Structures are given as C-alpha cells and as structure tokens.
Amino acid sequence: GVGLGRDHTLFALVDGKVEFSVKGANKRRTVSVVAEV
C-alpha cells in the first residue's frame, strides 16, 4: 500500500516496512509498503 498525491507525493496506506526496488529491462523504480503482521 502506497498512495500517490496530486503533487506526486508518495504516502503509506498501511503501517509497515518501506521497500524500494528496480524491476524490468527498463529498470523501473518501484516503492512498496509491506504490512507488518
């Protein structure tokens, strides 16, 4: 759960750990929040 604001601000939708990763051949950067159980 990550939300995107109108000004491109990223915000967490759930409490948890933030993970940054690079995926695919075009090296797209992603951000995700993994909920802690």
- pLDDT at position 23, please? 92
Note the pLDDT tens digit of each residue in 4-29: 999 999 888 889 999 999 998 999 99
Q: Residue 20, Cα to own-chain centre: how many angstroms? A: 7
Q: What are the Cα distances from residue 37, in Å, to 2, 16, 34?
A: 17, 8, 9
Predicted TM-score of the model (pTM): 0.56
> In the chain, what are the domain boundaries?
2-35
